[in-house]
Structure 1
Amino acid sequence: MSENQHLLAEQRRALILDEVRRRGGVRVNELTRKLNVSDMTIRRDLDALARQGMLAKVHGGAVPVVEASTHEPGFEAKSGLELTAKEDIARAAAELVAPGRAIALSGGTTTFALAQHLLDVPDLTVVTNSVRVADVFHSAQRTSGQRQGAATVVLTGGVRTPSDSLVGPVADQAIASLHFDVLFLGVHGISVEAGLSTPNLAEAETNRRLVQSARRVVVVADHTKWGTVGLSSFAALEQVDTLVTDAGLPAEARAEVSDHLRQLVIAGEPGEPGEPGESGESGEATGA
C-alpha cells in the first residue's frame, strides 16, 4: 500500500469517527454513500477503528465507545495507535527546534516519537517528566558514546503514571524552578470547551507547571484527541501557541482550532511549520 493510500485511509477513518461521535451512531450503507467507497472498505475501516478502541461495532454499523473521564490507557496500549500520524507530527514538530535551545517534553507516545527526531539537533537541554523520553536520549548516548553536542537531559522526579510520566509534588517543584524556550506537550484530550485535559489529577497539575514555565507552548496531538475530554483540564486553548496535528483533523475542527490558537500545523500537508528560532532567545534552562 502506498503512503498516499494510507493517508487517505486515515482521513476516511477520521471522518467515520467524526460521524459516529457527532450522530451517536452510523450505518454501513450510510457511510458507503457518503464516502463513495465499497461496503467491504467501510467494514475494514470499522474493524480497524474498533481494534483501536475508537468505536464499537454493532449489527449494520457502529456506535461511540463511552469511556469514563478517569480512564487512563497505559503507554503500551497507546503506542500502537495512529503510528503514521504520530510520525508525521513528530517530524513536523522537530522542525520547530533550533540548536542550543532549552526545551521540555511532556509524557506521551507522540512526544516519545518526537524525541527520536531530536537526537541529531546539537546542544539541546531537554527537561522531561517522561521516563520513556529520557530513555531515548540515554540509549542513543550509550550506543554512540558521549559525542560533542549531545543533549543534556534533565529528568524530573515524581510518581510514575500508567503513561510512564513522573508527576506529583517532586516533579512540580523541579519544573517550577526552571524556564525553557519551548514546551512540547502531549495531551489525552483537546477541545474548545475543556481546553487541554487528562484523566490523571496529579498529571494535570504537573502539566500546569510545565505550561507556566514555558515561553512557547506547542501541543503535539493526532486528530483522534480532538473532542476528547479527560477528568481534569489544565490549560485553555488560548494558552497554546501552536498545535501540530495530522491530516485526519476534519475541516470543521481546523476552523475551530484556528479561532483560538496562533498557529495550526497540519503535518504531512504543504506549508512551513515555522522558523526554528522563533521560540525565544535564551538557550539555557535556568533557575527561578
Structure 2
Amino acid sequence: MKNSKGVVCKRQQLILQYLNEHKTAKVETLSELLNVSPITIRRDLQIFEEKGIVERFYGGATLIEGALGDDPSLSASSRNYIFQKLAIAKKAASIIEDGDTIFMNSSSTALLVLKYLQNKHVIVITNNGKALQVQRDPKVELVLTGGEVYERKQSMVGEFATHILSKVVANKCIMGVSGISTKTGITTSVLQETAVNQMMLKRCSGPVIVVADSSKIGVEHNFISGDLNKISYLITDSGADDKQVEILTEKGIEVITVDPLDAAEINISNNI
C-alpha cells in the first residue's frame, strides 16, 4: 500500500531530527529505528541530497553544515520543524498584495513571512519584538505596537498594545497559533497574548490567514483567541491529519497544504 503524504513527511522529519543531533547517519541504523526498509531510507536520503541537505556516502549520509540552520535563538523544536515553517511562511507571503496593511502576531511562523515579502509596498503592524532582527525588503514598513514586554517570547502585550491596535484597521491578518481545533477554535498557551490576538481579529477587515504546522492541527490550549468563523485561510504542511483538514474545510476554511521539502534548499541565515 502506498504511504500517505503524512507518513512520508513524518518519517523524513524524524530522519532530519536524527541528523540534526548526530550529524551522520547510517542507512541500517535509520532503517531499524524507523522500522522501514533500507530502500526507503536511501530514497529519502537521495531527496535530501538533491535539496543540498546531506552528502551521501556508501551506507549513509552526513548533514551539510548549516543546512538545517544554526541560529542559537531558535529552539530545538523550531530547528526540527524549520522546513515546515519556511514553506508555510512563503505561501502566506504569496497571498499578501502590494498596498496591504497587515496585522502579524507574535508567532515564530508568522515572523518568517517577513523574509518573503519582496517588492511589495506593505505595512506590517506587529507585537513581535523579534521583528526588528529580521532582514526585510525596504518596501516593507514595520510598525511595533509597543506595550509590556513578555520576556519569554519578546512579544508586546497588555493594555497599551491593545489600545494601539484598536486605532488601526488592517485589511489582512497573519496569525500563528498554539492550536486550532473544531471544538475550541484558535487557542494559545500564553494568556497575556490572548487579548492582542482578539483585537487583531476584531480590527481586521479582510482575510485572516492562520499559519500553523501540522503538529498544531486538532490541538487545544487553555486560552481562546478566536472562533473558526474568523479564519479565511489555514496554511499548514502536508503532514496534517487528513480528517482534521476535511473537518476544517467543511467549516468554510480554505486549507492550503505545503510540502516542507520545497523549502529545504532555502539558505537559513542567522537573520531568521
Q: Which residue of 1 aligns with 2:34?
A: 41
How much does 1:251 deviate?
Answer: 1.1
Whole-Å separation in 1 of the counterparts to 2:124 and 2:227: 24
Contact 1:78 1:109 in 2 (8 A): no
Q: Which residue type is aligned with residue 128 of structure 2? A: S
Amino acid paired to 1:160: V
Distance in 2 (CA, whole Å) between partners of 1:7 and 1:115 is: 27
Superposed, 1:231-270 pairs within 5 Å as 231-268=222-259
Structure 2 gap segments, 5+ residues each = 14-29, 37-72, 261-272
The answer to whether residue 191 in structure 2 is matched with residue 201 in structure 1 is yes
Determine helix, strand or coil for the equivalent of 1:110. Answer: helix
| SS in structure 2 of the partner of residue 180 of structure 1 | coil
Cα displacement string for residues 180-216 of structure 1 (whole angstroms, at most 9, x for unaligned residues): 1110001111111111111222201110001111122
1:156 to 126, 129, 145: 145
CA RMSD of aligned residues (A): 2.7
Tell me how many residue pairs correspond in the alignment. Answer: 203
**Aligned mates of 2:6, 2:184 — CA distance in 1:** 29
TM-score, normalisation: structure 2: 0.68
Q: Conserved in 2, the CA contact under 8 Å of 1:75 and 1:164?
A: no
Distance 2:241 2:180 in 1: 14
For 1:102-251, list aligned pairs within 5 A: 102-118=101-117, 120-136=118-134, 139-140=135-136, 150-161=139-150, 162-215=152-205, 216-251=207-242
CA contact (8 A) 2:114 2:136 kept: no
Q: Does 1:83 align with 2:76?
A: no
Give distance in 2, aligned partners of 1:229 and 1:181.
27
Deviation at 1:78, TM superposition (A): 4.6
2:104 corresponds to which letter in structure 1? L
Instruction: Say whether the 8 Å CA contact 1:111–1:133 is kept in structure 2.
Output: no
* Mean CA deviation greater in 246-255 or 79-88: 79-88
Structure 2 counterpart of 1:262, one-letter code: I
Aligned-residue identity in percent: 24
Contact 2:98–2:121 (CA<8 Å) still a contact in 1?
yes
Distance between the aligned counterparts of 2:258 and 2:159, measured in 1?
Answer: 35
- Per-residue deviation, 1:132: 1.4
Deviation at 1:140, TM superposition (A): 4.2
Q: Tell me if structure 1 keeps the 8 A contact 2:217–2:241.
A: no
Q: Who is 1:66 aligned against?
A: none
* C-alpha spacing 1:233/1:81, structure 2 compared with 1 (3 Å): farther
Is contact 1:245-1:267 (8 Å) kept? yes
Q: Distance in 2 between matches of 1:172 and 1:40?
A: 48
Q: Is the 8 A contact 2:122 2:141 kept in 1?
A: yes
For structure 1, the residue ranges without an aligned partner over 5 or more in a row are 1-5, 15-36, 44-73, 142-146, 270-288
Partner SS state of residue 255, structure 1: helix
Deviations 1:5-61 (A, max 9, x none): x986434479xxxxxxxxxxxxxxxxxxxxxx9542249xxxxxxxxxxxxxxxxxx
Which residue matches 2:62? none
Q: Is the 8 A contact 1:223 1:245 kept in 2?
A: yes
Greater CA deviation, 157-166 or 191-200? 157-166
Residue 268 of structure 1, CA deviation: 2.9
Q: Deviations over 1:146-187 (max 9, x none)?
A: x5xx22211011122222221111110011110011100011
